[in-house]
A and B are shown apart, each in its own frame.
Chain A
Amino acid sequence: MGTAEALGMAQPGGAWVPGDEPEIASRTQWQLFWERFRGDPVALVALGFIVLEVLAAIFAPLIVRAVAHPPNAQYPNMLDPRFGTPTGPSSKFLFGVDSVGEDVFSRVLYGARVSLEVALVATALAVLFGVLFGLIAGYYRGGIDTLISRVIDVTLAFPVLLLALGIASACSLGRGCLHGLIKPGLTTVTVAIVVINWTYIGRIIRGQVLSLRQKEFVEAAHAGGARDWTIMGREILPNLVAPIVVYTTLVIPQNILLEAALSYLGVGINPPQASWGEMIAQATPIFNSAWWFFAFPGAALLLTVLAFNLVGDGVRDALDPRMAT
């Protein structure tokens, strides 16, 4: 690992004149990474978009108060009085209304909260568990490795969407499952995502740890009397950062789509809370005439996932310039 070297050390094979050497600042891997990332305009724009979106989600209440209407407030007068069909974009309702007369613009904005929370919280938790169990399995091997690996195998043998559907269905009724610990809605979706996701990264980390623990520096630490957890934390974990980052960037957009899919299928977020997937589901019966109702949430979903994908690409490229395009 790069450690910062002192400036102005003697270069072999040359006379050293004090003061006339340019300052050679050697850079940490992270600085290298950041420089490469900075040079990728597409990734930067995407990152900017995400930052904007996060801000919009955080300040949604203010924005909504300024230019739109509360997301759960119904305006039946915006529905066609003869048929109950919703009206489209107008100056007061920027993205039109949905089938109960709620402001689509506000709901798209608040829907960002759900998607971003899933992206960040659910993914973070999944990665946490995956890394934890992968570390334990790969480091200790033997019985506990077999146990963890088998659990991973069985989970992976399950058709993913069906497993998510099952968990979400089971916990989306009444008081939820585990005696109300897992409530319907965002919590259930998060749990479903975590249960599915941790296995992928668990497997990857386990593989990496298995090979890393053979390396000399680990043996050295062992010989030096360091405890297991210290070794795992100080020696092995830092080497895992790259695959963890790569995996995380790959999986965030997938999880956003998974939450939307679960909400679309009716087992994720339920009304009146706003979620892009649920909005698309609501829009499906009338998508033919009320195009705004499925277009805007869908576009929001597409752009968000796209942005995360682009950032992910940029991160991966910056980490490994050999693959740079």
Chain B
Amino acid sequence: MTLYIVRRLLWAVLMLLAVSALTFVIFYTLPSADPAALRAGRQATPELIAQIRHSLGLDRPVYDQFFIYMKNLVLHFNLGYSYQNNISVRAEIASRLPATLSLTAGAVFVWMLIGIPVGVLSAIKPRSLLDRVAMGASLVGISAPVYWLGLVALFLFASDIGRIRLFGGAGSYVSITHDPRAWFSSLILPWFVLAASFAAFYARMVRGNLLEVMGEDYIRTARAKGVSERRVIVRHGLRAALTPVVTIIGLDIGILLGGAVLTETVFNIPGIGRFAYDSIVNSDLPAIQGTVLFGAVFIVVANLIVDILYAFLDPRVRY
């Protein structure tokens, strides 16, 4: 077992290295804004730009730049400095982490709270009105683009421009330490919008799983043995139906922690997703590297945890 874990860990590290390299390759070739020219300001002479290029290390061969970057990363945890404003990428990510965490944690909470019970109830009473309405709403939830839903939500409920002024609008995010109330109000709409598609997905998945499980033989046996329906569902059905859900939640959280780009953009939340998008658009290579790596770490870690959990539960998996 430990051997398996060790092997997976090693592989995880290797993957992150590969992700770094791949990021470098993709974004290095980005023929976008020239960082040396950006720094140089107006009327810069070619010599000046060459100077700055040299100081930023941009005139070195690619593999050299990559090696220096990796060395800094591994030895000093230094993610480099943004081309835009010379700020430490690591510090920037750290300062934006609370916003992304707030968004992710709240959204997960909301979609679990809605998605799972809805899925269970729909499965218990298939084809009922509740089921149809819930599944219909779920379908809409997974079909609507999140930024469009965000605009609709703002259009209807934003406290500054909405038809019914209820919750904080775009750009109203403040950190929880600053003003808990405003923080909460500013995140309600983003939470629900982000959770919508996930809740829908989980509702459908839970419903499908539970229905399938309920058709299994051992459920029939339990019923035949006279176990109450409620016990049947809760004790036997749910456990089997929810196990795959747990793993997928882990993966989804991993993905979201890398930053929900679209939601953060629509609601102007200063999180990591937004930072990633801004850096890509500005060809800010160090910032891109940092944010992509950050996101990849969470994905890889989530996968790792899930794999290890599975290995615990099912020894066959450890090949």
Contacts and interface: CB of A to CB of B under 8 A. Distances in A.
Contacts of A89: none
Interface stretch (A75-83, A211-219, A303-311): A303-311
Interface string A242-280: 000000000001000100110011110000000001001
B211 A158 contact: no
A154 B18 contact: yes
Given A162-B295, A298-B152, A265 B161 contact: no
B221 interface: no
B38 interface: no
A121 interface: no
A132 interface: no
Given A159-B259, A165-B277, A306 B299 contact: no
Contacts of B300: 157
A38 to B, nearest CB: 19
Interface in A291-306: 291, 294, 298, 301-302, 305-306
A266 B277 CA distance: 11
B147 interface: yes
A284 interface: yes
Interface stretch (A60-68, A94-102, A105-113, A170-178): A170-178
Given A264-B145, A306-B139, A323-B211, A288 B29 contact: no
A157 B277 contact: no
Given A158-B19, A158-B296, A323-B208, A169 B280 contact: yes
B45 interface: no
A159 B144 CA distance: 21
Contact of B261 (A154, A161, A177, A266): A161
Nearest to B161: A288
B145 A260 contact: yes
Taking each of A159, A264, A298, which has the highest tally of chain B beta carbons within 10 Å of its own beta carbon?
Answer: A159
B148 A162 contact: no
A265 B261 contact: yes
B245 interface: no
A322 interface: yes
B288 interface: yes
A133 B279 CA distance: 33
A287 B143 contact: no
Nearest to A165: B280
Contacts of A162: 258, 261, 276, 280, 291-292, 295
A173 B34 CA distance: 13
Contacts of A158: 19, 22-23, 292, 295-296, 299
Given A264-B262, A323-B211, A159 B31 contact: no
A57 to B, nearest CB: 19
Contacts of B29: 170, 177
B207 to A, nearest CB: 8
B212 interface: yes
A47 interface: no
A162 B291 CA distance: 9
Contacts, number: 133
The DSSP consensus for interface residues of chain B is: helix
A264 B266 CA distance: 11
A173 B276 CA distance: 19
Contacts of A288: 155, 161
A288 B152 CA distance: 10
A54 interface: no
Interface in A144-177: 150, 153-154, 156-163, 165-167, 169-170, 173-174, 177
Interface string B290-306: 01100110011001000
B112 to A, nearest CB: 22
Interface of A: 150, 153-154, 156-163, 165-167, 169-170, 173-174, 177, 253, 257, 260-261, 264-267, 277, 280, 283-284, 287-288, 291, 294, 298, 301-302, 305-306, 309-310, 313, 322-323, 325
25 contacts: A157-B299, A158-B299, A159-B296, A162-B295, A165-B276, A166-B30, A169-B32, A169-B281, A170-B27, A253-B142, A264-B262, A265-B261, A265-B265, A280-B145, A288-B161, A298-B148, A302-B140, A302-B143, A305-B143, A305-B144, A306-B139, A306-B143, A309-B142, A322-B215, A325-B211
Given A169-B280, A305-B144, 18 more contacts: A154-B15, A165-B277, A166-B23, A166-B27, A166-B292, A169-B283, A170-B26, A173-B32, A177-B29, A253-B142, A265-B261, A280-B147, A284-B266, A287-B151, A288-B161, A302-B140, A305-B142, A306-B140
Interface of B: 15-16, 18-19, 22-23, 26-27, 29-32, 126-127, 135, 139-140, 142-145, 147-148, 151-152, 154-155, 161, 208, 211-212, 215, 255, 258-259, 261-262, 265-266, 276-277, 280-281, 283, 288, 291-292, 295-296, 299-300, 303
Q: Which 6 A-B pairs have the closest CB atoms?
A: A159-B295, A305-B143, A306-B143, A298-B148, A159-B258, A154-B18
